[in-house]
Structure 1
């Protein structure tokens, strides 16, 4: 059973770059949605203009599920070493929901993962006044810093 995703959330984006990234994530999840399998699509933009897509992969054991942003990060790193600059994720509504597709911010685990690999990454997130772009570090102000890798930032 599938649901219609409704209105494209990119239409609320005021800047063309955010609109492009959100529209790409929306198109992905609109075409690949499967109830209880794939509910979120993500797109990551690199500095050279490349878009890298990821699809949420659910699992019977919740911990085995993989977020769309993590998949998109892996796809991006297979394709390029260019810095990653913007990410957006769009959630498709379930068939019994009356809400349209919507932007979702990266979960806490994805915030940590994305910042490990792209410390200057921004995210398109929803808000009361419509979509906005926020530095991912703003969404995770106290990022874990371990000793596994050499420091890369402040």
Structure 2
């Protein structure tokens, strides 16, 4: 008996406005080293959309992922949580957030929906908590 892939669970279609914002960010990605462009767009509970693209740097560790760029834009505008995130790339299957991004997303919205989409229209979806079970959290104190 084969197990179902937990990352194939509950695919949903992305919201058109979030998908458009993620595609625009994707087009603006700066990826001269990896040539792996990613765009991300998130929605806050009050309906605001914040987008970000990956931005690489010759000093590789200084680059930023698209999801991190979107979170930084959200926070810079004074928002602290989001309900939905679309990650757009050319990868097949659609690229999901890296481990560092999963931790950052968890900090702000563990129950948010993450929808990964590619140019071919493939869609995968998960909650942030599904992407990062047993996430690291500092105890409130």
TM-score per shorter chain, which class?
0.7 to 0.9
- Match of residue 75 from structure 1: 73
- Match of residue 3 from structure 2: none
Post-superposition Cα deviations, 1:22-50, rounded to whole Å, max 9, x if no partner, equal 221012222x2445168211101111111
Gaps of 5+ in 1: 1-12, 94-98
How many residues in Structure 1 have an aligned counterpart in Structure 2?
A: 127
Tell me whether 1:146 sits opposite 2:138 in the alignment.
yes
Contact 2:89 2:117 in 1 (8 A): no
Q: What is the root-mean-square deviation of aligned Cα atoms in Å?
A: 2.9
Kindly report structure 1 stretches of 4+ aligned residues shifted beyond 6 Å: none
Separation in structure 1 between the aligned mates of residue 102 and residue 29 of structure 2, nearest angstrom: 23
State TM-score, norm by structure 1: 0.68
Gaps of 5+ in 2: 1-10
Q: Which moved further from structure 2: 78-87 or 104-113?
A: 78-87
State TM-score, norm by structure 2: 0.74
